[in-house]
Amino acid sequence: MRAAGGVRRVQFIAGLTGLALVAGAALVLRAQAAPAMPAVDANDIGGTVAGPNGPEAGVWVIAETRDLKTRFAKIVVTDEQGRFVIPDLPTAAYSVWVRGYGLTDSAKVAARPGGTLSLRAAPAPTPAEAAKYYPAAYWYAMMHIPTADQFAGSTRDPALPANVRTQAQYLTQMKNNGCVGCHQMGGAATRTIPTAFGTSLEGWNRRLQSGQAGSDMVNQVANGYGGVPLRYLADWTDRVAKGELPADKPARPQGRERDVVITVRDWLDDHHYLHDLISTDRRNPTVNGYGKLYGATELSTNDIPILDPVKNEATLFRAPVRDADTPMSPAAKPLRASAYWGDEAIWDSRANIHNPMFDEQGRVWMTASIRGPNNPAFCKAGSDLPSAKATPVERSGRQLAVLDPRTGKYTFIDTCFSTHHLQFDKNGRLWTSGGGPVVGWLDAKAFDRTGDAARSQGWTALVLDTNGNGRRDAYVEPGQPADPAKDTRIVASFYAVMPSPLDGSVWGSVFAYPGRIVRIAPGASPPETALAEVYDVPLPGYGVRGADIDSKGVVWVSLASGHIGSFDRTRCKGRLNGPAATGAQCPEGWSFYRYPGPSFREVPGESVESSYYSWVDQHDTLGLGKDVPMSTANLFDGIHALAPGGRFMTLRVPYPMGFYAKGFDGRIDDPKAGWKGRGLWASSGDRVPWHMEGGKGTKPLAVHFQLRPDPLAH
């Protein structure tokens, strides 16, 4: 079977060994019973893994220590002969064990770098024990959803609100534009209900009201979807509680998936969550080589976590706000008590830092609140700023700030437009998303010269060239009748923002159902000259979330439909302006590539995977090649990379289970060091880090993904 775009679907094969031996303690085997030991250096741990039927290929070997300043674990995959090498370990005492599909965890063996081990795998005694290690996707796929005929005609579910018209629209909410936008659904913590909440429908009603975001969850599910999802969620967890298991089984890592080296560290604390992190300059990934990483904690806390990956040390920087009346995140008291924290209000952020980005000088720029929502006079009607003359803006929910790590100076930058994500273009202009009816930017070089935030910023309305004359003219406002002599303004709030390295255009993703992407050509004076183009996602795609762009100008988008979608403007055959160019003008520009994973029973063939964000490795920081698109594998604890040749490879973080990324950053620490000098960074971004393996007390993670030439390279 081939997905649209001509790429063959990845087929999953059963990964269980079928062994039913009783699992005992891990045994250290005699050397002569195992394949030849791999070579190791003084800072490696190597060895073999065998089971009752011989070598265990494609299983994870985990080495963990608590001797360092952060929790530290390094994870590798065995080769075809069951051999492994865990490279470049800091000096410490380690616990080493085996985890894999078809197994239960082996007992932990003490080890130090420079030694070798012969480990015995522990076959799972029952299918239920084996299933505990499956990715969340396999459990979430057990949930039933309304069938297509329940959205129309005489068989329509009367509880559904009138604006919920299709099964795909419903799934968008149950996937990356709703539930999976904040949580990994299907993990152990979500496929069960805390005892304190009761069971079944009652338990889910109670669960949605608990914690810091209870009111938001209730509004989305109860008000937005008539409470219908609660019935299906309750049925799902009831069946899990009765012992039902996933119908599909995952395959063990294959091919280059076995070349991965994953390093896991703790940072921040057990009360708060991270949105994401930054390690380098998106335009030049050699900036800040081996340097510290900076996290964004969004609504949870004002503390910026800082990780030193060389010293394995985590510290904090307390982000200030400019105005004392800057609002705090809306969670003074939970709607209902949390099963983990009771009535404690654990979110207390005013800075509300959502996304960070390095510049070429090693400074960290952030979308951050510095004041309340009412804009200063220079943003409004009567201002002499060109942007305000063209499009006055009354309010903004989040602005900008920049931290200089060398001096500790934190500078406030007041913006008229709201901010969410941010990214530099090649000329040093910092573009932002989150502006609602406008898209805004900061000329960082001008701000450095003058310190004048007002004169260094700009923003534009999104105007389509519907009169087709190639320039921006007077326009009709959204909702007004079309005028063939005028252009048309649209409201399409950018979620992701991505300057094209190809032609100076700027793209944004608009997350909604079915979703769209928007292109801006800034022109000579963007507040007056910027022209927009809009491209709606056609079926089978739907449910846009995060997106990125490659060096050729192709946009890659995470979709709720279980695909990564690509849009190549050069493939468009018709006119891209004029009265018909309002979103549906270039379906031929789209291609769709099905993510790995099982399907919901009611939507066969569509992956249950629900990716939050996609990112393109423009500079080959991982080692698969330039311009490889990757998506957060939110129901697989890791990353899906669309490798050359059109096959997805999944790099799973098997420990602790429940890893959920919201973005990536690729850094080249040393261009001369081969695979050891490069890799991807991602942070766990689930809003409830205590849902990860380990439960309450678990801290957010910073994870480094590296890809070596073979499973034994050291």
Say which residue, 12 or 591, is predicted with more confidence: 591
Note whether 379 and 373 are within 8 A (CB): no
Query: Does pLDDT of 6 surpass 70?
Result: no
**What's the CATH number for 31-123?**
2.60.40.1120
CB under 8 Å to 131, separation ≥6 — which residues?
138, 139, 245, 246
Look over the chain and give the mean of its residue pLDDT values, rounded to a whole number: 94
Q: What is the pLDDT of residue 329?
A: 81
Distance between CA atoms of residues 115 and 117, nearest Å: 7
Over range 270-289, report the average pLDDT.
Answer: 97
Q: Is the pLDDT of residue 5 over 80?
A: no
For residue 252, the one-letter residue type is R
Whole-angstrom Cα distance, residue 427 to residue 443?
A: 9
- The Cα–Cα gap between 525 and 527 comes to 6
Triad 500, 663, 269: Cα angle to 5°: 145
CB 554 within 8 Å of CB 571: no
Who contacts 268 (Cβ-Cβ below 8 Å, separation ≥6)?
274, 295, 297, 301, 303, 305, 314, 316, 699, 700
Res. 28 pLDDT band, cuts 50 70 90: very low
Which letter, b or e, does each residue of 533-569 get, where b requires 16 or more Cβ atoms within 10 Å of its Cβ?
bbbbbbebbbbbbbbbbbeebbbbbbbbbbbbbbbbb
Question: Of 446, 449, 482, whose CA–CA distance to 466 is shortest?
Answer: 482
Instruction: Please give the Cα distance from 634 to 612 (Å, whole number).
Output: 7
Encode pLDDT of 184-228 as tens digits. 999 999 999 999 999 899 999 999 999 899 888 999 998 899 999
The CA-CA-CA angle for residues 187, 622, 90, to 5°, reads 75
Per-residue pLDDT at 27 exceeds 80: no
- The pLDDT value recorded for residue 331 is 59
How does pLDDT run across 108-130, given as a tens digit for each residue?
999 999 999 999 999 999 999 99
Q: What pLDDT sits at residue 332?
A: 61
Confidence of residue 7 (pLDDT cuts 50, 70, 90): very low
Q: Kindly state the average pLDDT of the residues 164-180.
A: 95
Do 635 and 691 touch, CB atoms closer than 8 A?
A: no
Mean pLDDT of 285-293: 98
CB 47 within 8 A of CB 141: no
Distance CA 557, CA 388 (A): 32
Q: What's the CA dihedral at 438, 441, 447, 453 to 10 degrees?
A: 20
The H or E element that residue 458 is part of is strand 457-464
pLDDT of residue 640: 98
- Does this model's pTM top 0.85? My answer is yes
Residue 15, pLDDT > 80, answer: no
pLDDT tens, position by position, 434-479: 999 999 999 999 999 999 999 999 999 999 999 999 999 999 999 9
Cα dihedral angle (620, 622, 623, 627), rounded to 10 degrees? -40
Which tokens go with 367?
A: 């979308």
In this predicted model, what pLDDT tens digit does every residue of 358-414 receive, in sequence order? Answer: 999 999 999 999 999 999 999 999 999 999 999 999 999 999 999 999 999 999 999
Of 130, 140, 131, give the one whose Cα is nearest residue 606. 140
DSSP lists the bridge partners of residue 410 as 403
Are 283 and 498 contacting, i.e. CB atoms less than 8 angstroms apart? Answer: no
Instruction: Answer yes or no: is pLDDT of 425 > 50.
Output: yes
- The residues that bridge with 422 in the sheet, in sequence order, are 432
DSSP 8-state secondary structure symbol assigned to residue 616: E
DSSP SS3 for 27: coil
Locate all alpha helices (DSSP H) within 81-223, ordered by sequence: 127-131, 136-140, 167-174, 200-209, 214-218
Q: What is the pLDDT of residues 32-88, one digit of tens each?
A: 445 899 999 999 999 999 999 999 999 999 999 999 999 999 999 999 999 999 999
Asked if 118 and 31 count as a contact pair (C-beta separation under 8 A), the reply is: yes
Q: Domain spans of the chain? A: 31-123
For residue 12, pLDDT beyond 80: no
Give mean pLDDT, residues 527-554.
Answer: 97
Contacts of 658 (CB under 8 A, 6+ apart): 136, 184, 187, 188, 189, 637, 684, 686, 691, 692, 693
pLDDT > 70: what percent of the chain?
95
Residue 34: what pLDDT? 52
